A = this chain, B = another copy of it.
Amino acid sequence: MFRRKGYYDTSMADLSAACGIRNAHFYYYFKNKEALMAEVLRSVQQFTAERLQRYAHDESRPPRERLARITRFFERLYAHATDPPDATASPPAVSTGGAASTGAVAGGCIMANTTLETASVPGEFTPVLKTFFETWVAALQHLYRTKYPEAEALELAEATVQDIEGGLMLMKLYRDKKYLLNALKRSEKRLD
């Protein structure tokens, strides 16, 4: 819910309805809405970091292959999620880039969404969000490092993250995975 609708537009009523529990139950386990959200972000951060570290540093495989696993991971994380019953047939909307258009879509990145929604004034979420992106960049940099010098590898890693996050935004707008998929493809090409 937070990923799809954002933090402020998601009400406790939305959440309890989605969970099939009573509104008040949340307040037994969490201090308030903010703490609940913080826990969601922490959980996503941790899950992602674990995977990224595992894949990026798997010395038993060549870098190209490790990157491919990371790509698959993000493709699922960001585009596999199914948004429920609003599945209206989506018009392809516009332009056909490197990849062909790919039907209905849901997904997105709760970390980026939350960043844009809340990062004006630093607040409680900022640290987890920063950690998330730093881990991601570090993992990519580690892989690009096998082909490029330190500084260049960092810039490529940052460029990849930006490309993907921008792609997720366009994916949401046009309901077309191709923006994400193209970005992922470009991230792999950088290692060829």
Contacts and interface: CB of A to CB of B under 8 A. Distances in A.
Nearest to A138: B95
A134 B95 CA distance: 9
Interface stretch (A19-27, A35-43, A66-74, A111-119): A111-119
A130 B113 CA distance: 18
- The size class of the interface chain A forms with chain B is 35 or more
A162 B133 contact: no
A130 B131 CA distance: 32
Interface in A1-21: 4-6, 8-9
A137 interface: yes
Count the copies.
Answer: 2
Contact of A95 (B121, B126, B154): B154
A97 to B, nearest CB: 5
A53 interface: no
B165 A179 contact: no
Contacts of A166: 112, 161-167
Interface stretch (A44-52, A55-63, A169-177): A169-177
A98 interface: yes
Contacts of A137: 95
Contacts of A173: 115, 119, 126, 129-130, 133
Contacts of A167: 162, 166
A65 interface: no
Contacts of A108: 116
A6 B5 contact: no
Interface of A: 4-6, 8-9, 83, 86, 88, 93-98, 108, 112-113, 115-122, 126, 129-130, 133-134, 137, 151, 154-155, 158-159, 161-167, 169-170, 172-174, 179, 182-183, 186
